[in-house]
Amino acid sequence: MDVGQANHLAKNAQTAVLLVDDDAISRRTLQKFLERDHFQVFSADGVDSAITILNSSERGRIECVVTDYRMPEKDGLCLLAWMVEHNPEIGAIMVTAEGEKQLVAESLRQGACDFLEKPVDRKVLGQAVRKAAERIRTARARVRAQQDMRAVGAVQQQMIGMAIPDCRVKVDLSYHPSHEAGGDHLALFQLGNDRFLVLSTDVSGHDLRAAYLSVFFQGFVRGMMHAETSIEDILVIFNRYLVSDVNSISKSGEITSVAVSALLLDLQIGMASTLSCGFPLPYLSDGSGNARLAGESGSPPLGWFEDTVNHPADHELGEKSRFYIWTDGLDDLAQHLDLSPLSCAFALLRHRKGTPPPGWMRHAKDDILVASVGHRSVISAAGEFLPLVSNKHPGTDWARVDALQAYWARSLQTALPELDESRLYDVLLCTREIMLNALIHGCGKSPDQSATVDISCDPAGCVVRVVIQDTGAGHDFDWSAHKKKAEESLVDEHRGLMLIDALASRFETKAHGTRVEMDFVFSHSDRALAS
């Protein structure tokens, strides 16, 4: 006996087969064939007795069923139908008589792996059973892997919540995995009475390896922080580990990488530092209607290149400062939907746990983790404006105003489905007119000049705020005097500004007209309340 035959017999000894045939002689013959090849054989004289065995404690051992087609009362197709419904992972082989080839197609549709014609050849039978057993082993391994992935994913979601202690920093978190397990994670580390680190990670891949590396990285950071190592040095060391020790010996050629967003908060001195490696830059909102990217550029993900970690960017903290952090899954979704990622973040952070996610989330192709981070004493205070849109446009974008308006509309409808359609129209009309004025007159249609538009919302007060500011020189036009004059007599000039003043709840120009602020109080629409 050669090595190959010995391996076959060893595998056969681990394979349990259920043989189903009402003919005792045929059943005994096939059983001898299988036992001679060292298969473990269970036998049944009909469909009902076969189902009894499959429902017994032997169910987990049986990997293949060999059944005759033509039997009294219930035929082989009846058994296949039962197996598809109750035990679909077990392989099935149908034995048919000559001239019953029309049954082959139906057998395959019912779930049979193979079919054999009588008289059955011993070698052909052994090969068919081994093939079916391999299929069931692969299927069962896949099921076990999926169960393990789901278990890891459940632990990950628990860990994300557990990794945010109750302290002076308030973290609002929304996590929407699109895979069973992955490498997205967020943790809050308390470094002292007034110093905190918020660390967000996104490991490449969506498998157990990614989940393991994510947990390993979090533990690595925690240990290094206890040793009072700076976050910048920690990222440099871990990047060197990935480049030199992990990716250099990868047999598959795949690069293992970790995208990181680090946010250091010092509440005592009112300062924050941000550091992004392959992670979308966070946004910093002042709570008054102004938002901006927290930094100019980030570094590549850890694991790509040596010496890729940039220096942190520093930011002053105001009374209502709040950072918005999210994984690239949110950026990809917002780009696909052509709307502001801030509006998506706003909607997801408002989403109530235990309820179905917004309908537009079905377009998500990647895991999405989004968080807002701020001082606990001022978070959710009345009068705080949360950002929905924050964009910068060159003066040449005046020609794209229709596209910009559609973008604002989609963003507002995504973030505020309760906003009444007529009030939405007021916001869009006024924003369009002021933005056109900023791009055409303030920027002179120049690509070297720009205008920013910030749209935010105070959910508690039901107010939408629009702030538009351009880099132009401004003007000496006195809007307050013009408004007073218009109230006293009919004035033809600047009718557009007077319309905006009538539609907005508050309309104010600042900095020689280069900055315009508008507030729009709204009420909940009947449609939104009904939903």
CATH 3.60.40.10 residue spans of the chain: 163-373
- State which of 252-256, 490-494, 514-518 shows the largest mean pLDDT: 514-518
Q: Is the pLDDT of residue 3 over 70?
A: no
Out of 3.40.50.2300, 3.20.20.70, 3.40.50.2000, 1.25.40.80, select the CATH number for domain 3-145.
3.40.50.2300
Mean pLDDT of all residues in 334-357? 91
Cα-based distances in Å from 225 to 33, 178, 198, 351, 453? 66, 31, 12, 33, 39
Per-residue confidence (pLDDT) for residue 209, from 0 to 100: 75
Per-residue confidence (pLDDT) for residue 164, from 0 to 100: 67
Position 479 confidence tier, pLDDT thresholds 50, 70, 90: low
Q: Is the pLDDT of residue 215 over 70?
A: yes
Q: Is the pLDDT of residue 434 over 90?
A: yes
Q: Is the pLDDT of residue 440 over 90?
A: yes
Per-residue confidence (pLDDT) for residue 531, from 0 to 100: 36
First to last CA, the chain: 73
CATH 3.30.565.10 residue spans of the chain: 390-530
Identify the residue whose tokens are 């508008």: 518
CATH 3.40.50.2300 residue spans of the chain: 3-145
DSSP letter for each residue of 363-392 = G--S-EEEEEEEETTTTT-TTPBEEEEEEE
Per-residue confidence (pLDDT) for residue 150, from 0 to 100: 60
pTM: 0.72
Task: Domain 163-373: give its CATH architecture.
Answer: 4-Layer Sandwich (3.60)
Task: Domain 390-530: give its CATH architecture.
Answer: 2-Layer Sandwich (3.30)
Percentage above 90 pLDDT, the chain: 46
Q: Is the pLDDT of residue 1 over 60?
A: no
Per-residue confidence (pLDDT) for residue 108, from 0 to 100: 64
Per-residue confidence (pLDDT) for residue 475, from 0 to 100: 75
User: CA 317 to CA 336: how far, in whole Å?
Assistant: 33
Per-residue confidence (pLDDT) for residue 181, from 0 to 100: 59
Higher pLDDT, 505 or 152: 505
Lowest mean pLDDT among 143-147, 235-239, 405-409, 503-507: 143-147
